[in-house]
A and B are shown apart, each in its own frame.
Chain A
């Protein structure tokens, strides 16, 4: 079940944790030092990451800290994501760079973000996670299916907990999925601040 929800977008970031601290704060407007302070640990190559990847990492780190120590210790934490755009924006950035330099060579640092799971790889590296990582976007109720996929990984013993991330150019929302009772409502938009809930409800519809 969904235990907690963290999010990061241009205007604000926050955490909903029914068993602990919940808050909403203004976003640091892309400043690396403040973003890193939210993440709470040093992250290699942070400055080369796309803005979407940094936002995703921030939301994931907030969410991960809400998992009980006994869940994190000795368990593999998976990371799954969905989002209508996949990584089309990163694809465009890389190819534009490649074309602008004469179509012989692009920047490797841009190319490595051209997979839908590139961001998840950075989350796994940055937060030392070792469970399954996959982008899985359903054409019907993609948000609900994302949660179902995460729950399936738990049920099959593939992970002790899962970070389920909705990626978008404007916001990253990270849910912690683990076994047990309590936690956030399964009706995700109901537990989010009103502004983000509306955005998220709209984004979670089929394309």
Chain B
């Protein structure tokens, strides 16, 4: 195993409810202002919430999905600038789910074939002029993190010099109704790790990251040193209250990275703002890392962006390491007693910004942890 390469995030971009680009995302989070708003979109549906974090000014052409509209805007800067043979991994949970909606509402079963995830992959490849291998990867709300680990594994083993990871999920009636049915939505903007938290807010995002070998990337490109993917095997929608699966994912990520828990400077939590998921994460962090360290969630700012959640928070984490400041957990006012001393509603300066842990969990009991390293001023 001595011939392994170090995978890094050589370049990236993101589109969220704060607008286009990583600067807008960072500025939005640092402002402490949420991009979650009241929406009239599902006003007559009787759902338990009307809160949502939608991408602003999104131009959706007739007949196309919000996902493809977001992806077109997100990857625009890549068009014509990427080796056509580059492998691509597309992470999504529901893809172009609007085609399922329309097939049922319009009684047009032919539309169902357009909802296949491979169709969205083909659209993205055409958009970018890619002719190399493509893969759709889905692992619930840990999809883009799992996709990053697959891309990193391919680069690490030298199977390809670069892999493009693209992720996207849009707010839809399909998903909104489902989470409403499960009573998972909060009536007000989500407040991760707060004592009053009582549910998530759905958001939407698209993002991409080019994973390459370290010697083919800028010196400041953050390195993916280790990762762990596990499953609780306990419940389809609820987390393991003992945090066994997430704890094992963190342990595996640390072991692969060759780092120890005391070296972790900052934690990017999944932080959905549901009662049990946030509590489960804190059990894992306390068990695996011991002493408190700055921890944040971005979901109070941009909502839960499902498949895109992992990559988006990792890009924020990379910025936090670069700037040596942890963004506030937007919506946090009074931390849950189990999270006090870890999460903050204001920015926190880092004494050392070298190593970060980012975690995601999701339906089916999936857990993913990544160890991210800042290389710039090593």
- Which residues in A have some Cβ–Cβ distance to B below 8 Å? 45, 76, 78-79, 84-86, 88, 91-92, 94-96, 98-99, 103-108, 111-112, 114-118, 120-122, 124-125, 128-140, 145, 149, 152, 155-158, 207
Given A134-B139, A139-B134 in contact, is the A98-B112 Cβ separation under 8 Å? Answer: no
Task: Find chain B residues with CB under 8 A from A88 CB.
Answer: 100, 112, 115-116
A124 near B237 with CB under 8 A, answer: no
B103 interface residue per 8 A CB criterion: yes
Taking A105-B180, A131-B229, A152-B154 as known contacts, 19 extra A-B pairs with beta carbons closer than 8 A to each other, sorted by chain A number, are A84-B116, A95-B101, A98-B178, A103-B45, A105-B46, A106-B181, A107-B181, A111-B178, A114-B174, A117-B364, A121-B364, A122-B364, A130-B233, A131-B231, A133-B366, A135-B137, A145-B133, A152-B157, A158-B252
A115 near B231 with CB under 8 A, answer: no
Task: List residues of B (5-56) whose CB comes within 8 Å of A's CBs.
Answer: 45-47
A2 to chain B, nearest CB (A): 20
Task: Find chain A residues with CB under 8 A from B105 CB.
Answer: 99
B260 to chain A, nearest CB (A): 18
Task: Find chain A residues with CB under 8 A from B121 CB.
Answer: 139
Given A91-B94, A92-B103, A145-B135 in contact, is the A133-B116 Cβ separation under 8 Å? Answer: no
Encode contact with A along B121-138: 1 for CB under 8 Å, 0 otherwise. Answer: 110010000000111111
B248 near A130 with CB under 8 A, answer: yes
B139 near A91 with CB under 8 A, answer: no
A112 near B177 with CB under 8 A, answer: no
Residue in B137, B181, B237 whose beta carbon sits within 8 Å of that of A136 in the complex: B137
B182 interface residue per 8 A CB criterion: yes
Most buried by B among A112, A118, A122, A124: A124
Task: Find chain B residues with CB under 8 A from A117 CB.
Answer: 138-140, 363-364, 366
Given A106-B181, A135-B136 in contact, is the A85-B233 Cβ separation under 8 Å? Answer: no
A91 to chain B, nearest CB (A): 5
Q: 3 closest pairs, A vs B, by CB?
A: A121-B364, A132-B229, A111-B178
Task: Find chain B residues with CB under 8 A from A103 CB.
Answer: 45, 173, 177
User: Could you list 25 examples of A-B contacts with CB < 8 Å?
Assistant: A76-B230, A86-B95, A94-B178, A95-B174, A103-B45, A108-B178, A108-B181, A111-B181, A117-B139, A117-B140, A118-B236, A121-B231, A124-B231, A124-B233, A129-B231, A133-B366, A134-B366, A137-B136, A139-B135, A145-B135, A152-B150, A152-B154, A156-B156, A156-B157, A158-B252
B178 near A133 with CB under 8 A, answer: no
Task: Find chain B residues with CB under 8 A from A114 CB.
Answer: 94, 174, 178
